[in-house]
Every structure is written in structure tokens, then in C-alpha cells.
Structure 1
């Protein structure tokens, strides 16, 4: 497959800039992969397509306020710092991206906050944009994290074309977010409300949770035409034994396994065995899924409508069929579905 095969014209007005009024009331396109039948529903109708003992697998990663704005020493230039991951808790070392990168060198100091009380020093250049920062802070690890996060903003995607708003603090986070470490929210999971999950529970649908700390690689432009040459960023994952057991039991008894989002699908496909079973695991994944690909765990998937030439779109076409999904995207544009993190959803069954 080639990068150019995933290009399509997406009107700017169809990129959702804000979440729907209620989590579970965005639009839902339901697609039967066998017959090709398409139904247009509301997201909370998803419950109608699943039965007792079917399993939904969710990503319980928690987004942290990863975007900071600081000022460079001497010049006072504004520098955007995007926290990626903590490297060393004791010495307050963080792997970050900086913008504009050309203005930052090893040894430079950055000051954060109105009172410039938080100071960081650049101690390493790892890539053209990446840096390692050492934050100069006297206090415990918890005190440091609290102070750092108080300065940060919710890292909503840049393509939204706006800054953080109050609504993002709640809605750019799933209701089951638990394990902190993501800088990108698992978008498909954002549609689940407490009311919907209670109704699913009453119906007998089972829930299973794994953790994949989604990173900025989800939004990074692919710069090669031949997709086999693209390298995904590594992301940390954790699949507990309880989740593996619940998924495998559903498969053994002929019940459905629904992956809620591309992050869940990627995590499970990283760990799947040759006999299509899930194993407990704690580690990292840089798996890149694009057509053709044979999936081994989930037989249904919920996912948002993704932007052109994104790895998320590529995985969706791998699951639903390239021609079929690209055709569904044409239909989605015609029917004015909303795209992106805060957009509408698709159920492939």
C-alpha cells in the first residue's frame, strides 16, 4: 500500500472542533462487514448490536496536561514544551518536544509560570525536535508533579486550530481513565457515558481494560510513500491477566469481542498468539497495521472518522477492507459526519 492511496478531500467544516453536547449522542455509522449494509444511528444505540457475554475492550490510559509554554533565558522567547514521558523521577528528567526547536540548545534554561518559579535546563538533544529537560525543583516527586501539571494544558490536537478550553479538561478524557501516561486521548472511548455503560452492564455485556499510552506518533505525518518503510513511535502497553482471560473466554464461547478504538486493536494485535488468543503482557509496541492484515482477536471495532493519510485510517481500512472503508468515508462526507478526535463514530461488525 502507498501513502497516496489514503488521501481524500476532507472539508475543513467537517473536522469537529468541540465535543458533542453529550458523550453518547454523537452520530454512529453502523456497518455490517459481511453484507455491506449501512445504518445511521446515535452512539448510544451501539448497545443494540451486542448481547449478553459479549466483551468490550477499553483503553484506560489517562491523559495528563502535557503542553506547557515557557520563556527562554535572556531572550524571553516563548517556547512550547510538550511533555512526552518521565525518564527519571528522582532527577526530574523528561523527554520532551520543543517548538521552535531551532532556538533551543544544550545548556539553555527555560522558565515557566507567571512568576517563573519552575525552571528547566536542556541537558540533551535526542532528535531534531526532541530534547531531555532537567527540571530544577526542590521537593518530593509528588510535589513536583503537582506543580508541573498545574502549569500544563490539556494537549488537544493542533488540528483543532484552538487552544485549551474548560470543556477539554473533562471531555478530552474517558470516564474510565485510570493509568496516567497518554498525551493523546483514546478517541473512541470518549463517547461512552456512565449511563450507557450502566445499560450495557445490565444487558450482560462484559468490560475488559488494557492500557496503551498513546503518543504523538498518532498525529505525526508519514514522510514515505511506501508504507512498509514507515516506523511507528513506541508506546507503552499493559494487558492484565484478567483482560486476557475475559477476552479468551468470550472467543472460546462464541461471543463477540469489540475493540474500542485503534489503540486497543493495536495493543491486542501486538500480543495475539498464533491460535488467536490474548496473553498478559507489559512492555512496548511500535506495531504498524495497514492493509492487507489478518486480525486475530477482535471481530468488531468502534472507531472515529480519521483524517486523511493517518495511521488510524490505515488500520481502519485493514479491518474493514480498503475499498469498503474508503467508500464509507465518501458516504460520511456526503452525510456530513464529523471527523477527528471530537467527531462521530463508526461501528464495524
Structure 2
């Protein structure tokens, strides 16, 4: 498959790590990049956690940490969320103008209530002029610095309020470098099966820039099948790599025609967990407690399918120090081999379809009323990473 071209950035392997709140920080991105590079190919794009435009403009410490990359990270990819064009433009100007990232992605895909009830994320493209203004502001802010802007979105709010084809055409006309579609609606949340036929339709509608597909990629074979069935120019991988950074080794191999797949035994998994812990402590500037607390959420994902008793799982989910982590990992039966498909498939809780939380009267019109427009600055979230 040909390389993925995102503006001036050429990516040998057409794979993107999706930004995930509380997951895709520098530590986890390092593990995924190392795995992908182990196949000898440039492994893909690895996008940082979402940063809110307001928080970034206000120079929030945690937001600035999110858009701080490792010395060996290249290209550096950041994702921005916002509902006010001026604030989004200012945030992108900071990222591009201060050389904080080489690529900016705009979030129009988040389905969580605290985002959609503000009119943001997957709710926002319903207001087409607002969507247009935000994308234009971001592209114009980034263009003088040669930083490409991409858009990640969902199909729409629900099956009766689809926006992805129109949004894709608008984004293309405004000069974005690529569009990515999570083939679910906001109402779908993460439930059911992703509608890959929507990716194919978007590919037919958007011709001049790459179209990337997202949703239900649990293996390298899934990624190849998505590209084959939809014509997508690449794939975006989210929940499928949680607790499985080595999935990027499989993806790199598969897209270059290599059949080798990584099938780690429990000792390999334990080594990955411990390295993840070291990287987390470094990410939090040497704060061991904070690093270990953040690592805890990953334990169930890493250990999925392996014969690890409940007591051991609970102990690992409560570690506070590196010494505790080492002790509990060494107590496992590290002679176990790969458990097969029990270690694969969906990660985390998919949940069930949900009625999207939207601003009052949001669906009454495709246009933005004056009252809500006046509230846009207040509606900006001030906390990044989720």
C-alpha cells in the first residue's frame, strides 16, 4: 500500500493512533512507536490526547504538558477541541507558531456528554457554518507555519441527523490535509458494529485528500480488510491497542506485506507493563505516585486473556510504587504463552447506544442562533485530556 501523505508529512505505514483521553500520553505513544518501528518501517502517526483550545490559550499547565513531545517524536501530532472559531484559531496559532507540533487534528468526533452538551465534538458539524468557521480558522492559523490540519469526525448525531458527507466536503474545500471518520454516530457511542460502508461513501465524496477509517480495528487483518472494503487511504486505531501497544508492530508488518505477528507471552507483557510504568514516571517529571496511579487503568487491558488470578489483578490495579509493581509482576506465572484470541478483540466497555446530550434546541436548525453564538466563549471546556 502506498505511504500516507498528510500535507508535507509522508508516513510509510498508513496507520494513526487515535487520541484517547488518559491513554495516549507521551508514555503510551512511546510504546506504540517503538513497537511499530521494530518492523523496520516508519510506523505511523501517533496523536496526543485532546487539548482544549481555551485551556491552551490560557496556558493551562496540563494542556501544555499534553502538547509537549519527546525529543525523538517525529512527526508530532496534537488534537484540538473547541466550539469557538476565534479560540480554536488562537490555540492552533500557539501550537504551530511556537513549533509545538508538526500536525494538528480537529476533534469533531467525541461523543461524551460533557462535550456534546456544549455543542462540541460529534454534535458540532450539525451547525454547518460553525463547523466551517472553525475549520477555516484552524487552517488559516496553521498555514503560515506549514503545519497540516486534519479533521476527525463521526457519521453524525444519530441516524436521522447525519453530517459526515457534507462535513467532509466542506473540510476538503477549506484545505485540510485529510479527513478521518469513526463510522459510528454520537448516539451509537462505542456500541454495536462500526458502519464501514460510511467510510466507503466518504471516500467517494472526498477525492483530493486522504480519507482514513476508524472503528472496530482489533487486528492487523481488520485494518487490511477495512482498506480493501472501503478504499480508505489508511486507518485510525483507538481502543484496539489499549493494553496492546505491540499491535502497531502487526500493523506495520501487515501494510508492508509481512505475515509476521507479535504474540507475547506473559513475561513479555510484564516487561511492557514495567516499561510503561517507567515512562509514566518520567512523563510526570519523576512523580512516582502519580505515574503509578495513571498506569493502573491499563492493567486490565494488558492482562486480558492471561491466566492471572483475581487477587493479582486487584493488587496490580492498586500499585503505588515501582517496587510494588515489580514485586507483583514477578509473582505472576511468567512462563505462560500467548492465550490466543482470548487476548484479542474489543477492549474496555463498549456500552450501549445513548441519547446524545445536546444544547437545548440544537436540532431545530442547521444554523446557529444568535443567543448560542454569544455563549460560545463560555461554552469552551477549560480542562484538556477528556
Classify the TM-score, shorter chain: under 0.3
Q: TM-score, normalised by structure 2?
A: 0.24
Q: TM-score, normalised by structure 1?
A: 0.26
> Which has more strand, going by share of residues?
1
> Which has more helix, going by share of residues?
2
